[in-house]
Amino acid sequence: MYIKRTIESRLIEFSKNFPVLLLTGARQVGKTTVLKNTNFCKDINYVSLDYPNLRSLARQDPELFLQTYPAPIIIDEIQYAPELFPYIKIRVDQDNSSGQYFLTGSQIFHLMQNVSESLAGRVGLLILNPLSRAEIYGYDEIHFTPSLTMKVHRNESINDVFESIYCGAMPKMIASANLRPEDFYASYVQTYIERDIKSLAFIQNEDKFLKFMSSLATRTAQELNLSDISKDVGVDGKTVDRWISILRTSGLIYLLMPYSSNVIKRIIKRPKLFFMDTGLACYLSLWNNPKALQVSAMAGQMFETYVVSEIIKTYTNSGLDPRTRLFYYRDNNKREIDLIVSENDCVYPIEIKKSASPKKDAIKHFSVLDNVDAKRGKGIVISMSPLIVPIDQDNMVVPIGCI
């Protein structure tokens, strides 16, 4: 069963404006599937570099490969043959018509240098993440910004939410009613380590890397502390930094940067770490029961991870870069705002609470934004409240169903 993806409209727009389209994202988020099911790609030939013979041809004789598989063409797993990029450049320089090459790749860290060197200005880049709530539940999706016109798309209990957190949002998990999360994610992690980490990132100590991934999973929704992770895993800080970069550019984690302003001083400068799929975070941090997770010390972290990752998806699905719009705030006085949306010279503070009845002090630090060099917009507390409830004229409590 194909689940319609929000990003389809952006794929169509990009195909009309760029000769090359590159769709990146973590493994198994549905990159190939969405291309094959988008109308303009249905009649386009497809070739996958997963096949060793085709991969060998693409690497050893890129010119012959592109003659054998002429444009328009979908080339899957392009990271296995970066030798193709200069030859694609030659072709699109000769013929700059749009919609010629549709490329997918699951290792952004391996792709981006080749893309920036060979295809700058010629390629439209989009990122696909796991399924969003809108895609799973079938409602229209726009990038998330607090406003008076927000509406509740779906009512759900805390049990429903933690079931979603535990299962994650990978298309195969959502489509397979009888597939257990622990079985899916065990296979997923093993495939990732074998095909991406060992073969492309050249990391041979897979036990250490798995321990590193698990250590990060227990720290989701927390500030990134390289020293603590280094001690926990038993590798040096430079290795931790490199491995974080690999997970980040593989699409598995996201680093939320701190909000800064000329007016605000003494801010914490470390980024905040979030897993982009809560099911993977649950598996790596050894949770095998959503109800146990729901009452655990990690419940708040996982709830925040779920909310933030869902908001990030609304931006990437719209073809927008969340790095320029989403931030968090924390200063040396321990004043913190979970999420800040910055858009159109306006900042919107967001607090995230697992409670169904968050207290008014949830917004106590929103005032730090009153004096920044941008207008202060509507503040919200995303929670398990069943209704949108005004706190005062500038702030309100909203259900998670508004995302």
Domain architecture of the chain: domains with CATH: 8-127 (3.40.50.300), 133-402 (no CATH)
Least confident of 74-78, 116-120, 361-365: 116-120
Q: What band does 112 get if pLDDT is binned at 50, 70 and 90?
A: low
- φ, ψ of residue 258 to 5 degrees: the values are -70, 145
- Per-residue pLDDT, averaged over 195-201, amounts to 74
Q: With a cut of 60, say whether residue 71 has pLDDT above it.
A: yes
The helix/strand/coil state of 15 is: helix
pLDDT of amino acid 121: 82
| Residue closest to 71 by CA, chosen among 88, 84, 54, 93 | 88
Q: What band does 118 get if pLDDT is binned at 50, 70 and 90?
A: confident
pLDDT of amino acid 109: 52
41-55, 234-248, 290-304 — most confident range:
290-304
Q: For the chain, what's the residue count?
A: 403
Both tokens of 355, joined, read: 């409670």
| Residue closest to 260 by CA, chosen among 348, 329, 324 | 329
Q: With a cut of 90, say whether residue 79 has pLDDT above it.
A: no
- Alpha-carbon gap, residue 124 to 96, rounded angstroms: 13
Chain Cα centroid distance, residue 258: 18
Over the range 324-343, which residues count as b (16 or more CB within 10 Å of their CB) and which as e? ebbbbbbbeeeeebbbbbbe
Chain Cα centroid distance, residue 131: 10
DSSP conformation class of 124? E
- Per-residue pLDDT, averaged over 338-346, amounts to 95
pLDDT of amino acid 116: 66
- Per-residue pLDDT, averaged over 178-188, amounts to 96
Q: With a cut of 80, say whether residue 278 has pLDDT above it.
A: yes
| Residue closest to 320 by CA, chosen among 144, 135, 118 | 144
User: What's the chain's average pLDDT?
Assistant: 92
pLDDT of amino acid 46: 95
- Per-residue pLDDT, averaged over 292-306, amounts to 97
Least confident of 42-46, 335-339, 350-354: 42-46
- Per-residue pLDDT, averaged over 274-285, amounts to 98
- φ, ψ of residue 306 to 5 degrees: the values are -60, -50
Q: What band does 38 get if pLDDT is binned at 50, 70 and 90?
A: confident
- Sheet containing 272-275: give its strands across: 222-223, 272-275, 253-256
Spatial contact of 375 and 342, defined as CB atoms under 8 Å apart? no
- Alpha-carbon gap, residue 193 to 284, rounded angstroms: 13
58 pairs with which residues across the strands?
A: none
Residue 326 or residue 151, greater confidence: 326
pTM: 0.94
Residue 375 exposure: Cα atoms within 13 Å on the Cβ side: 7
